[in-house]
Amino acid sequence: MDLTAVLDAIVLGIVEGITEFLPVSSTAHLLLASRLLGFDSAGKAFDVLIQLGPMLALLAVYAARLRHLLVALPRDPRARRFALGVLVAFLPAAIVGVLFHEVITGVLFNSVPVIALALILGGVVLLFVDRVPFQPRFFEVMNYPLGLALGIGLFQCLSLIPGVSRSGATIVGAMLLGADKRSAAEYSFFLAMPTLLGAFVYDAYKNRDALDAASWGLIAIGFVAAFISALVVVRGFIAFVSRRGLAPFGWWRIVVGGVALVAVALGKA
């Protein structure tokens, strides 16, 4: 493998790990960073397949809670309702993602203006939501009703547009539907588990013949970098959101989106 490609894979893996669970759109950051670095050694599949790293980091951090949930499923109706709710929330984006996969990856992923505008608009939404004095009704993810889970799942469909952000869409959606900020961020983590796994399996299958040994090697390197960096973010994100809110992420999105639009205007992207 080329040393430059290896270094690029490490950098992009770190970008993925840091941004996957933040409401800033990891897809947008990966696509823009890949263009900046000129990285296309593993194709579009790289961006999706290295998401397995953050997912495993999330599973590692939540291992005890997941184990407790699995043990409780046979005898606890509350645990069964929560598990069903996560499945219900996962399905809308999974269905839409499969139906429009070619449009999403072939058209939207290649449009820097779309990505930049989605970043900016999403940033404005985060700033607005952060200032609204919501009166939440739901404070514990285990008590989320199925209707709320479905609503969050519909909001997650928006994240199929690169630049929107999966975590941003689900957190904002949950808050608009009555969840408090902390539990909304936590539910976003739980919903990420089937979503990232589903995206990984589907894209691995779709690209099974297009990736050679060198491409899989770069994906593995990116995966390790993403796993390590995501561990840090998962451990501190909920506390940060509870303390500082969503505004810092909103401003960051606006800056990155603005820089991307300037690059497009100058013919650099």
Whether residue 1 has pLDDT greater than 70: no
Please, where are the H alpha helices in the chain? 3-19, 26-37, 45-49, 52-61, 63-72, 77-99, 101-106, 112-131, 146-156, 166-176, 181-206, 213-244, 247-265
Residue 255's alpha-carbon distances to 106, 110, 184, 223, in angstroms, are 26, 20, 25, 27
Contact 249, 24 (CB under 8 A): yes
* pLDDT band with cut points at 50, 70 and 90 for residue 206: confident
- Give the pLDDT mean for 72-97: 96
- Give the pLDDT mean for 58-69: 94
* pLDDT band with cut points at 50, 70 and 90 for residue 44: low
Cα separation of the two ends of the chain: 26
Q: Which amino acid is at 64?
A: A
Q: Which amino acid is at 149?
A: A
pLDDT for position 210? 66
pLDDT tens, residue by residue, 99-116: 998 898 888 888 999 999
Vertex 77 angle, CA 74 and 82, to 5°: 100
Whether residue 96 has pLDDT greater than 70: yes
- Give the pLDDT mean for 40-63: 82
- Give the pLDDT mean for 208-225: 82
Element (H, E) at 266: none
Contact 22, 233 (CB under 8 A): yes
Domain extents in the chain: 3-265
